[in-house]
Structure 1
Amino acid sequence: MARRPTAPRPRQGPRRPAPSVPPQRRPVAKAARQRPTEAPPAPTTAARSVSSTASAPRSRSASSAAPAPRSRSRSVGRPRPISTAGEKPMADGRSVPADGRLRELVVGRPWRRRRRLILAGTAGTLLVLVAALLTVVFLPALQVDEVTVDGTGYLDEAEIRAVAAPPAEGSVLLLPTGEIAAEVGAMPGVASVEVERIWPDGARVSITETAPIAVLTRLDGTSVVVGEDGQELPAAAGEGETLVPLAVSSGSADPDGAAAAMSEVLAEMPTTLRGAVREVSASTRSDVTFELALEGGGTKTVVWGDAHDAELKAEVVQALLGQPGSVIDVSSPVAPVTR
């Protein structure tokens, strides 16, 4: 028995998902949303019985046929708190009663009270410290009453004390040691100075005097003592000392410059060479000349020139002492001359 031919089926492509249709809201009866403005007249007793019996199946059918209306607004997330009278809503949703907020304003929070106590305690402590410091500073027992001077030889202690006493007035706690040292150190003949407090009411000034090395004779015949720093010293500095004579040559056109140059040359000269110098003379700043004593008993004349290159000139002189001749010219130390 032959099979009946069948029609070919149409080729089906991939199924596409049905487009989503947003759900439609059901209409809400206007009667449910509107409130009656006027109440209907009350029916009579007979009408009530008839209407009740007639409306009973109708109400059942209506209730079964029409579903209850739904609210159009939906709450999303946490509901907003409703503020009541006497309460204040906060940012996190809590409400604080009015009496609680008033209590916080009046009483204050504990950390605020602690902070006020800390600030008050700190201020009180500072006031006590300031009062104690002022009391100590102006205490009569701590006022400087005596200034002592140590280390003087040819300098006058009274002069040093007169210079140091004015800055030393007041409390020993506020003693200006730096100012006193600067004032005393500016005096001629003072090489170094140290100031210290002597408790409870004193100060000590310890000085080191400048050593004298020469005596300078000017054109007018006056003489002054010259220290190792090249500065003039009090006349008492030369008493009992062996000093090198410095003389300004007659007819000098620059006696002050010559005197300053001789003092500077002798001050910068090495100690080993300075001890052998017998006499120094000059007429200008650049022609300083001195006599140098030798170990064998003779002498040599050294033309030193100006006060520059003192170390190099001293080395050249010591190297040429054994050479023949009576004059050593080191005014140009890189090209010395002996004759």
Structure 2
Amino acid sequence: MTPGRFVQALQSKRRAAKRRTLILWGGVAVLVVGAAVGTWLLFFSPVFAAQQVSTSGLELLTEEQVAQAAAVPVGEPLLRISTQSAEERVRELAPVDEVDVVRRFPDAIEIIVTERRMQYQRERGGQFEWIDEDGVVFHSTAEPSSGALLARSDTEEQRLLADIATVARHVPGEIRPEVEAIQADAVDQISLLLPEGRTVVWGSAEESELKAQVLEALLEIDATVFDVSAPRHPTTR
């Protein structure tokens, strides 16, 4: 190769390397600008800001109650809204068992609520309290709910209220309509009150499934008291 051609080739390589460098830096610049624009759009612009709040799964609560509790800052970009904080606020509402706050792009927040379910009711102060499987009092009405078991207990102890719920779940279906009340004086003193002065001594909530099975058999016996508190050694009298 002549000296002239060698110089030309070297210059050509340098120009090609310079073009690649310019293209590389140009690409980096585009990415940086794109990332900056994307960040601005998502975190600071009104384009993806919360403009509406919707709710679902409500029966006892109203949309207004849930929206007020969630306190979602309308107009705030979706990604800057703490869904966890909103969930914690909604969860403080007594009827709420579970809640999920979800961002719905481009401009909405959805609050999905699962409300507590009544296992039994209790009359106190002229009101009928609704109590769930965890022993949580979450609602009250002026009239009793048809078909729901009624409990008699003045306790404030959640453990006992939850134990009553366990017993209520296991009351055999064939006598459920006959149960006038579940009497609960302590965690190991739970009874079912039946018509004509008949009583089922349940004891504690432990082994409730077995107690229910034993009780179904005992009900064939003509008796006033059916004691299944020790289900492997039941008695009647």
Structure-1-length-normalised TM-score: 0.54
Which residue type is aligned with residue 203 of structure 1?
I
Aligned to 1:76: none
After superposition, the Cα gap between the structure-2 partners of 1:270 and 1:169, relative to the gap in structure 1 and judged at 3 Å, is farther
Is 2:54 aligned against 1:148? yes
User: 2:150–2:181: 8 Å Cα contact kept in structure 1?
Assistant: yes
Distance in 2 between residues matched to 1:147 and 1:239, nearest whole Å: 33
Which residue type is aligned with residue 264 of structure 1?
D
The alpha carbon displacement at 1:108 in A equals 8.4
Q: Secondary structure at the match of 2:28?
A: helix
Structure number with the higher strand fraction is 2
Aligned to 1:313: 211
User: 2:58–2:113: 8 Å Cα contact kept in structure 1?
Assistant: yes
User: 1:177–1:195: 8 Å Cα contact kept in structure 2?
Assistant: yes
After superposition, the Cα gap between the structure-2 partners of 1:240 and 1:174, relative to the gap in structure 1 and judged at 3 Å, is farther
Is 2:138 aligned against 1:233? yes
User: 1:210–1:228: 8 Å Cα contact kept in structure 2?
Assistant: yes
The alpha carbon displacement at 1:144 in A equals 0.8
Distance in 1 between residues matched to 2:73 and 2:194, nearest whole Å: 48
Is 2:232 aligned against 1:334? yes
Distance in 1 between residues matched to 2:19 and 2:170, nearest whole Å: 74
Which residue type is aligned with residue 202 of structure 2?
W
Pick the aligned partner of 1:128 from 33, 46, 54.
33
After superposition, the Cα gap between the structure-2 partners of 1:141 and 1:281, relative to the gap in structure 1 and judged at 3 Å, is same
Which structure is richer in relative contact order (CA contacts within 8 A, separation 6 or more)?
Answer: 2
Q: What are the ranges of 5 or more consecutive residues in structure 1 without an aligned counterpart?
A: 1-99, 250-254
Aligned to 1:286: 188
Distance in 2 between residues matched to 1:323 and 1:271, nearest whole Å: 18
Query: Where does 1:64-103 land on structure 2 (aligned, <5 Å)?
Result: none
After superposition, the Cα gap between the structure-2 partners of 1:135 and 1:336, relative to the gap in structure 1 and judged at 3 Å, is same
Once the two structures are superposed, residues 12-43 of structure 1 have per-residue CA deviations (whole angstroms, 9 ceiling, x without a partner) of xxxxxxxxxxxxxxxxxxxxxxxxxxxxxxxx
Aligned to 2:222: 324
Pick the aligned partner of 2:170 from 257, 270, 277.
270
User: 1:168–1:175: 8 Å Cα contact kept in structure 2?
Assistant: no
The alpha carbon displacement at 1:156 in A equals 3.6
After superposition, the Cα gap between the structure-2 partners of 1:227 and 1:235, relative to the gap in structure 1 and judged at 3 Å, is same
Q: Secondary structure at the match of 2:226?
A: strand
After superposition, the Cα gap between the structure-2 partners of 1:322 and 1:169, relative to the gap in structure 1 and judged at 3 Å, is farther
Aligned to 1:208: 114
After superposition, the Cα gap between the structure-2 partners of 1:223 and 1:331, relative to the gap in structure 1 and judged at 3 Å, is farther
After superposition, the Cα gap between the structure-2 partners of 1:180 and 1:324, relative to the gap in structure 1 and judged at 3 Å, is same
User: 1:226–1:233: 8 Å Cα contact kept in structure 2?
Assistant: yes
Distance in 2 between residues matched to 1:116 and 1:278, nearest whole Å: 87
Q: What are the ranges of 5 or more consecutive residues in structure 2 without an aligned counterpart?
A: 1-5
User: 1:262–1:280: 8 Å Cα contact kept in structure 2?
Assistant: no
Pick the aligned partner of 2:151 from 246, 268, 276.
246
After superposition, the Cα gap between the structure-2 partners of 1:117 and 1:305, relative to the gap in structure 1 and judged at 3 Å, is farther
Number of aligned residue pairs: 226
Distance in 2 between residues matched to 1:228 and 1:299, nearest whole Å: 28
The alpha carbon displacement at 1:159 in A equals 2.4
Distance in 1 between residues matched to 2:205 and 2:90, nearest whole Å: 29
After superposition, the Cα gap between the structure-2 partners of 1:278 and 1:189, relative to the gap in structure 1 and judged at 3 Å, is same
Which residue type is aligned with residue 304 of structure 1?
W
Distance in 2 between residues matched to 1:227 and 1:168, nearest whole Å: 35
Structure-2-length-normalised TM-score: 0.73
The alpha carbon displacement at 1:280 in A equals 1.6
CA RMSD of aligned residues (A): 3.7
User: 1:189–1:227: 8 Å Cα contact kept in structure 2?
Assistant: no
